Amino acid sequence: MAAESDSKPASSGFSSAVNGGRTVEECQDMIRRSLRTPMVKFLREHLEKAGCSIGDKFINAVNCDKQVSGGYVRGDGIMVCSNHMNIQDEVDQVVIHELIHAYDDCRAANLDWANCAHHACSEIRAGHLSGDCHYKRELLRGFFKIRGHEQDCVRRRVMKSVIANPYCSEAAAKDAMEAVWDVCYNDTKPFDRAP
């Protein structure tokens, strides 16, 4: 499902895109660079090993109306919202986060994105394993806490994403997240441990 954006509004002057962000073409180039990073290569390799081959058209830059960074849709692949991207690191993070969703979808034959617990579990894993909640990223978002920042960040981002699921109310999202937290937070596959 979608990786929600906690980032600040885009600065102008970076590209020819209207209202900040990048053009689709610029973002597609950034996606190509992401595909060469070790983490993305690792995740693509493990998707292949799990029986889910992803072709060159699996990850695409698009303009998005909603305030999201990107998303994964079963059967369609990954979209990166070019108009919400400014730097390579943002694109890399979206690609990694969404590849973790694709991996979860691949390895769990019964994953139901309309099930709040299933969605919450994949969001917990993607938030924890992707580096979305690294303390430097949190600091840039204006969140600072010495202890427990990573889990607080993952919880905040899981709630934001699962609440956006039309099948999940805020209460259902919170209950689902709490019910699956320990199992999903500690599930680091395909990594040996959280990166």
Q: Report the catalytic residues.
A: 98
- In the structure encoding, which two tokens stand for residue 17, read together? 């895109």
The answer to whether 8 and 78 are in contact (CB under 8 A) is no
Could you say which DSSP state residue 186 is in? Answer: T
Q: Which helix (H) or strand (E) holds 41?
A: helix 38-49
User: Could you tell me the sign of the dihedral formed by the alpha carbons of 142, 146, 150, 153, in that order?
Assistant: negative
Q: Are the beta carbons of 44 and 99 closer than 8 angstroms?
A: yes
